[in-house]
Chains A and B, each alone.
Chain A
């Protein structure tokens, strides 16, 4: 009779130990899953934030780049203008683009003439300038573009008379997304 009572007590204790073990396992698993979900969520958010930061940097750059000394018209065209890009200057810069590689911290800079409209996309080179509509700097790795409106000016001659010709263009800065 005493033996039976002891056996029953042992069994009860074993059950309780088992219950505790299962409970501990369950709690550990639960926290591990919650932790994994949290880390996953945080990591995906970080990628989004990194892309947002890159986008904001590109937006800031594109809104200021036209007025930087390397691009701006300065006083070359009658009066000083804001958001004015000297096309002749940029073509000279394009010839030296290896020296400026990484200078603006962006992968690609493009100036695209939008008006007057020309058919197709013609990249500007020394030989076809100004009969072209795209001036690309550091062309190659293309990501997402941020753009801004600028006026693209150059010296033009008609009937032997030189004058300033300013056309509507878009300044585009590309950045690579974090995958």
Chain B
């Protein structure tokens, strides 16, 4: 009777072990199948490209070396509180240019896939320009770019909040 019971217990343990192993294999398979890091990294590339492109945009601010300054040059002009050659305020031009580009690039509406964005330009801890629109969500894409010129460290960050 005891021998029979022991055989039964061993069979139950064996069965439980097999069920456990199958469950773990299924979990691993599901985790591998559901994870798609490749797509995410490519989507993030859009944010990197956006920051690179914004810096090269030709603004309405006239300068000495170039006829019209790029956003990258304009950041330094604004940091130094300089005026453009055509009399415009460099910080004002920087703000309107960035707002306009962001508005047309990351459309925030009910139909779009984006919920909001936060764009920031800082230099040595001081805010040079920023633009925030929409709502924050847990799902987002983002990138930070930094460069140095004339001893000034400039950091540019963009976070785009997505709906999914």
Q: Is the CB of B49 within 8 A of A63?
A: yes
Contacts of B42 in A (CB 8 A): 56, 59-60, 63
Q: Is the CB of B57 within 8 A of A168?
A: yes
The 8 A CB mask of B44-65 against A (1 = contact, 0 = none) is 0110011011101110000000
Q: Is the CB of B45 within 8 A of A63?
A: yes
Interface size on A, residues (CB 8 A): 30
Which of A78, A82, A165 contacts B52, CB < 8 Å?
Answer: A82
Answer yes or no: B104 CB below 8 A from chain A CBs: yes
Answer yes or no: A110 CB below 8 A from chain B CBs: no
Which of A56, A83, A147, A158 contacts B53, CB < 8 Å?
Answer: A83
Please give me the residue from chain A that is nearest to B67 by CB atom: A163
Answer yes or no: A114 CB below 8 A from chain B CBs: yes
Distance (Å) between the CB of B71 and the closest chain A CB? 9
Contacts of B105 in A (CB 8 A): 114-115, 149, 168, 170
Which of B45, B56, B100, B104 contacts A151, CB < 8 Å?
Answer: B56
Q: Is the CB of A149 within 8 A of B68?
A: no
Answer yes or no: B70 CB below 8 A from chain A CBs: yes
The 8 A CB mask of B85-120 against A (1 = contact, 0 = none) is 000000000000000110011000000000000000
Q: Is the CB of A168 within 8 A of B68?
A: no
The 8 A CB mask of A90-102 against B (1 = contact, 0 = none) is 0000000000000
Which of B45, B49, B68 contacts A163, CB < 8 Å?
Answer: B68
| CB contact list, A146-173 vs B, under 8 A | 147-151, 153, 158, 161, 163-170
Given A63-B42, A114-B104, A115-B105, A149 contacting B50 (CB threshold 8 A): yes
Q: Is the CB of B57 within 8 A of A166?
A: yes
Given A60-B42, A149-B46, A149-B49, A168 contacting B66 (CB threshold 8 A): no
Given A114-B104, A116-B100, A148 contacting B54 (CB threshold 8 A): no
Answer yes or no: B38 CB below 8 A from chain A CBs: yes
Chain B: interface secondary structure?
helix
Contacts of B57 in A (CB 8 A): 115, 151, 166-168
Answer yes or no: A81 CB below 8 A from chain B CBs: yes
Contacts of B58 in A (CB 8 A): 163-167
Answer yes or no: A109 CB below 8 A from chain B CBs: no
CA distance A116 to B100 in the complex (A): 8
Distance (Å) between the CB of B4 and the closest chain A CB? 33
CA distance A149 to B45 in the complex (A): 9
Contacts of A56 in B (CB 8 A): 38-39, 42
- Known A117-B104, A149-B49, A167-B58; further 16 A-B contacts with Cβ < 8 A: A59-B42, A63-B49, A81-B56, A82-B52, A114-B101, A114-B105, A115-B100, A115-B104, A147-B46, A150-B49, A150-B53, A151-B57, A153-B56, A168-B104, A168-B105, A170-B105
Q: Which A residues contact B (CB, under 8 angstroms)?
A: 56, 59-60, 63, 66, 78, 81-84, 114-117, 147-151, 153, 158, 161, 163-170
15 contacts between A and B (CB under 8 A): A56-B39, A56-B42, A59-B45, A63-B42, A66-B49, A82-B52, A84-B56, A115-B100, A115-B104, A149-B49, A161-B67, A163-B67, A163-B68, A168-B104, A168-B105
